[in-house]
Chain A
Amino acid sequence: ETGVTQTPRHLVMGMTNKKSLKCEQHLGHNAMYWYKQSAKKPLELMFVYSLEERVENNSVPSRFSPECPNSSHLFLHLHTLQPEDSALYLCASSQDRSGSSEKLFFGSGTQLSVL
């Protein structure tokens, strides 16, 4: 148990559906992240929130919409996805301090299939 919980674990959705992924961290961290893992590709950083403000958006299509209501919760809202968006979506958190390196703590991920 890493202290980062993601729901649901699995999600199958059609291209016209709207769904949301949820992440909760119990570690008291101040930064949260969404990563995408596709088969045989590196983990791709999608979004970073630090102190509930979005600090990174790596050219992610607008059909992915993040929300960070507080430092413990992170959502990824999905709408009109494409089959190529099928992947494992990982949430992570860290305690971000200026000038120091901190490691990420990952959730178990949501395996998303878009039909």
Chain B
Amino acid sequence: DQQVKQNSPSLSVQEGRISILNCDYTNSMFDYFLWYKKYPAEGPTFLISISSIKDKNEDGRFTVFLNKSAKHLSLHIVPSQPGDSAVYFCAASKIQGAQKLVFGQGTRLTINP
């Protein structure tokens, strides 16, 4: 059973507009959530995280929102830039270190000029 799901395999957004990537989880014990970004031929790189004591975390153009009651988190990118085109992975864990990170399938984001 997949505990972290990204139901949109791909998303296409116009440059300058907002990109919203979604992620759902099933395990209510998860209390730490991360987004990773992956370019072709490279490994995933950490983008932004949020713990369950917060409902929002912002870092420049990137904001992650957490809705614990809905077991849903989203990543907002605004304004979207062509360099944001990549695969975005959502991941979740219980706060016990990185050993138990569970990843979603990824969403391929394409930013159109």
Q: Annotate B82-113 by CB proximity to A: 1 below 8 A, 0 otherwise.
A: 00000001000101111101111110000000
Hey, which bits of chain A sit against chain B, CB under 8 A?
Answer: 2, 4, 6, 9, 31, 33, 40-43, 45, 48, 50, 55-56, 90, 92, 94, 96-109
- Interface range on chain B (Cβ under 8 Å from partner): 20 to 34
Stretch of B12-20, B36-44, B55-63, B70-78 that contacts chain A: B36-44
Q: A31-B98, A96-B97 are in contact. Are A90 and B51 (CB under 8 A)?
A: no
A109 to B104, CA, bound (A): 18
Hey, which bits of chain B sit against chain A, CB under 8 A?
Answer: 2, 4, 9, 32, 34, 36, 41-46, 49, 51, 89, 93, 95-99, 101-106
Interface contact B44-A101, CB-CB below 8 Å: no
Among B43, B93, B96, B105, which residue has its beta carbon within 8 angstroms of that of A107?
A: B43
Interface contact A105-B95, CB-CB below 8 Å: no
Interface contact A50-B95, CB-CB below 8 Å: no
Residue of A nearest to B33 (CB): A101
Q: Which residues of A contact B36 (CB under 8 A)?
A: 106
